[in-house]
A = this chain, B = another copy of it.
Amino acid sequence: MKKDVDELILYPREWVDETSSRVHEVVHRWAQKEIIEDRLAYTHHYETQFDEKRKSLSLTIGLQKLTLPEEYGGGGWNTMQHVPGVVTIVSEIARADAAIGVISAMTYSIFGLIASERNRKDALTKALAPMFCGNNLATPSVMLPGAGMTGEDTPLFMGRALPVSIEPAAGGYRLMGGAMRPLACGHMADLYCVACTDKDGESCVAFVPAEAEGIIKGPAVKTTGLNACRNATISFDGVRIPEEYVLRDPNMLATLHIWINLYLGAVSVGSSLNFFEILRDWAESRTIKGGTPMKENPLCASVLADVAEEIALSRLLLYNMAHVFVHSERFGAVEDKGMFTFAQMIGSRIQKSALLAINRGMELMGSAGYAKEWHVEKHWRDVKTIQSALCGVGAGVPVKMDIARFFFDCKEV
């Protein structure tokens, strides 16, 4: 009998608590039944079915509120020891559908940032809780700093441009600037989580409900992948938000990068796990050279091995990232900057590995890799979209500069 991927692509189960394992099983059933086994139908009615599938996961099963504190109506998984479990769950969601995975990842990242025991922002969490703990789907959109425009002198976060700024306004703040491209869901978001600066150029993170006045939303952009997470360019023209909606601690933006690298890593690993399953079926059933099963051809087998290796190692690294984050004290000296660096380093490696695995595996699938029917091309487009947006402008050079700063104490790169 064919083995389950979890028996092959190993991860340290000791780090995942039992409650998480039970939720994982529920999500696994959802993934299998509602999406994976229904994929041919899902291919052709993707856009319309998307909300329905999300609802069953987020509202019926209740995962949307999972990481909010119990006292605000959440699932109570706002402790750090649940983090590896959430990683497992996000992977499982993305195994079915990367777009739902990305929305989950952004949700959990935001509440990781503001509601986790390590750094609770109670007023903000309380204010946002109804949106995520109610009976409607809530879509967040995370806006990280990125490339600036030539000729503009923009405040920077680790070299990346922060074109949105805040200034105090009666009882809160006013946001200005933008033409920023979110990671995803810019066009359909209910809540924006925005990297910005104060007037001293210090980085902050601001939360902006979509109904606030002054949000300028560009047209929905057509994108390679994550087509259900309709994106758009977003600007702010004097948008007002309450005081507690801004996190002014300059570590917050770095911490947001950690959370998002972790959970988007989980998405791409999950997507590549499903790719592994599809490829395995293909390699077993397809024959080449007039009769040999593809998997028994040594060259094909070596490509299969490369695929498995990339996925297995990136899954291992993903859990290591979670583990270092949760137990940084046991890892020697991971202060904030170190953790930020490790998250960027492992996060970008995971994205690269997941995409490499799919790219290589597609080599064996010929046109089946390319036809919508097989679903492989969707994983490929989705993961690529995540990778490009997350690992950032300049072929990952900003991440490399982060790494060089940490390990070699560079000052000016």
| Interface size class of chain A, counting residues whose CB lies under 8 Å from the partner chain | 35 or more
Query: With A and B bound together, what is the CA distance between A6 and B402 in angstroms?
Result: 19
Complex contact B332–A11 (CB within 8 A)? yes
- Give 7 A-B contacts (CB < 8 Å), ordered by A residue: A7-B333, A11-B332, A296-B410, A298-B413, A301-B408, A305-B403, A308-B406
B14 close to A295 (CB less than 8 A) = no
Enumerate chain A interface residues (CB-CB to B < 8 A). 2, 6-14, 276, 280, 283-284, 295-298, 301-302, 304-306, 308-309, 312-313, 316-317, 320, 323-324, 327, 330-334, 338, 342, 345-346, 349, 397, 399-404, 406-413
Residues of B within 8 A of A400 (CB): 301-302, 305-306
**Set of chain B residues within 8 Å of A283, measured between Cβ atoms:** 408
B397 lies within 8 A of A302 (CB) = yes
The 3 closest A-B pairs by CB, nearest first: A305-B403, A301-B404, A308-B407
Q: Is the CB of A12 within 8 A of B330?
A: yes
Q: Are B346 and A298 in contact (CB under 8 A)?
A: no
Q: Are B345 and A309 in contact (CB under 8 A)?
A: yes
Q: How far is the CB of A230 from chain B (nearest CB, A)?
A: 34
A332 engages B7 (CB within 8 Å): yes
Enumerate chain B residues within 8 angstroms of A6, measured Cβ to Cβ: 332
A323 contacts B12, CB within 8 Å?
yes
Can you name 15 extra interface pairs (CB under 8 A) apart from A10-B333, A10-B338, A301-B410? A14-B331, A280-B408, A284-B408, A295-B409, A296-B413, A297-B413, A301-B400, A301-B408, A301-B413, A304-B410, A305-B402, A305-B404, A308-B403, A312-B407, A316-B320
A302 to B333, CA, bound (A): 23
Please indicate the chain B residues that have their CB under 8 angstroms from the CB of A312 in the complex: 342, 345, 407
**Which residue of chain B has its CB nearest to the CB of A7?**
B333
| Bound-complex Cα distance A301 to B2 (A) | 46
Given contacts A283-B408, A332-B7, contact A298 B14 (CB under 8 A): no
Q: Which residues of B contact A320 (CB under 8 A)?
A: 12, 316, 320
Q: Decide if B407 touches A305 in the complex (CB within 8 Å).
A: yes
* Residues of chain B within 8 A of A14, CB atoms compared: 327, 330-331
Bound Cα distance A331, B10 (Å): 6
Report chain B residues within 8 Å CB of A397. 298, 302
Nearest CB in chain B: distance from A391 CB, A: 13
B309 and A403 within 8 A (CB): yes
Instruction: Tell me if B406 and A342 are in contact (CB < 8 A).
Output: no
The answer to whether A408 touches B331, judged by C-beta atoms less than 8 angstroms apart, is no
* Residues on the B chain within 8 Å of A338, using CB: 8, 10
Q: Contact: B302 with A401, CB < 8 Å?
A: yes
Residues of B within 8 A of A8 (CB): 338, 406-407
The answer to whether B317 and A316 have CB atoms under 8 Å apart is: yes
Considering the complex, give the chain B residue whose CB is closest to the CB of A330: B14
A406 to B327 CA separation, bound complex (whole angstroms) = 32
Question: Is there an interface contact between A313 and B346, defined as CB atoms closer than 8 Å?
Answer: yes
Given contacts A332-B6, A413-B301, A404 and B308 within 8 Å (CB-CB): yes
Q: Closest CB-CB distance, A221 to chain B, in whole Å? A: 30
CA distance in complex: A313, B341 (Å)? 12
